Amino acid sequence: MNTKEIISEADIYSAKINKNTTWIFINLRLANGNNGWGEATLNKKEKLIYELAKNKLPQLVGLSLDELSLKLKVEYTIENIPNAVLYSAINSAFVDLVAKNKKISLANEIGIPRNSEVELYANFNRRTLDRSLKGVKKSIQFVKDNGFNAYKFAPFDEVFPSQSKSDFYRSLTIGLERIEVIKNIIEKGAKLMIDCHWRFQEQFIDILINELLQFDIYWLECPILENVKSIKDIKNIRNKINKYGIKLAGLETCISKNHFEPFLKEGCYDIVMPDVKYVGGPIKMLEIANFINMYGAEFSPHNPSGPICHAHSIQVCSVIDTPVILEHQFDETPFFNILVSNNLPQIKNGKISLRDKPGIGVQIDKNLDIFKHKNIFEKKNKNVFDKIAELSLSEYTNKNFK
């Protein structure tokens, strides 16, 4: 056994990057010094992820790469989202570690790189803290000025499935006004994706569709709850909006082929959005992508969290042999770049170019003060990183936090 290829450390690192978001990362380290990284971010389930990791990670220390590979294949289950997230993060860190140990990119480890560039769309929902029309206008202008030509926003904050029809109309109108502001700013022909976060009742969908026609949106995402009981309703929604050239997107929370398959068999979606944090890591993600394409749907990864998920998703997209557009959580926080020492590939004109670096091409800077206590539930003294967490990218660049 090569003692330099033994797992010497298996740790969890958590970063509360603003009041709403905590990113969680899994790190596997070999005795030879190579590090692999995965992301285990799961909103509002941070304590559960930490407890699961506290039980699982010590079992990995002392294993060889071959032993860990076997353990991941045999012992880990993904019967629910929290377990799936932890398994996916460990598996992601493992594949990153293997690739870095071979000094090849993760793309080369899992397949054959086919795309030197990956197209991105800017999800600017979380950066838009001011939800007024003025705030939305200012936010979308900033995103446009950064060179994007495809955008996603979730405008229907006030809509809830339990609303009466009169309350629904009032809430819908507020969201439509936000969309109108966005359309008045973005360039003609730009792609606009509208995310509904499962807020709508099926009985009100026709109203929503009729109101959206004026905006020429590219896709409608997750309008109603996604479960096997709603498959017929979802397929009907797709049929209705397809008549107007609008695509239906969804299934971001599915964790295995068995979860995707009932929807794919019935042709519910044009766009299917697996998340590398849920489906088992980059190798499983590639399998899911091929599975989706087999049913004639388009693969477009869900990628709304931190820099490690982003880096893994880019690598997967680079080996896909069909056109892919990848979500990018744009400008939620400066930490997106700070945590990886500003080493992510640069975005230019809404595209990101692949670099031939080992693994995912980046790693978390574990020495940052934000990781002084790896457990986010321990208290820590307020420092410059707490101040940065309150800023957007545009605000950060005008400050002197060096």
Instruction: Locate 232 and state its tokens.
Output: 């017929």
What distances in angstroms separate CA 379 from CA 188, 224, 372, one per listed residue?
Answer: 49, 39, 10
Q: Which domains does the chain have, with CATH numbers?
A: 3-104+371-396 (3.30.390.10), 109-353 (3.20.20.120)
Residue 179: phi, psi to the nearest 5? -60, -40
- Cα distance between residue 270 and residue 249, in whole Å: 6
Whole-prediction pTM: 0.92
| Residue 127 burial (CB count, 10 A) | 18
CA-nearest of 17, 38, 8, 26 to 313 is 38
Query: What DSSP line would sit under 109-168, residue for residue?
Result: HHS----SEEEEEEE-TTT----SHHHHHHHHHHHHHTT-SEEEE---TT--TT--HHHH
pLDDT tens-digit profile, the chain (402 residues): 466 799 999 999 999 999 989 999 999 999 999 999 999 999 999 999 999 999 999 999 999 999 999 999 987 777 799 999 999 999 999 999 999 999 999 999 999 999 999 999 999 999 999 999 999 999 999 999 999 999 999 999 999 999 999 999 999 999 999 999 999 999 999 999 999 999 999 999 999 999 999 999 999 999 999 999 999 999 999 999 999 999 999 999 999 999 999 999 999 999 999 999 999 999 999 999 999 999 999 999 999 999 999 999 999 999 999 999 999 999 999 999 999 999 999 999 999 999 889 999 999 999 999 986 555 444 444 444 444 444 444 443 344 333
Q: What share of the chain is helix, strand, coil (3-state, %, to 5)?
A: 40, 15, 40
Whether 358 contacts 33, CB under 8 Å: no
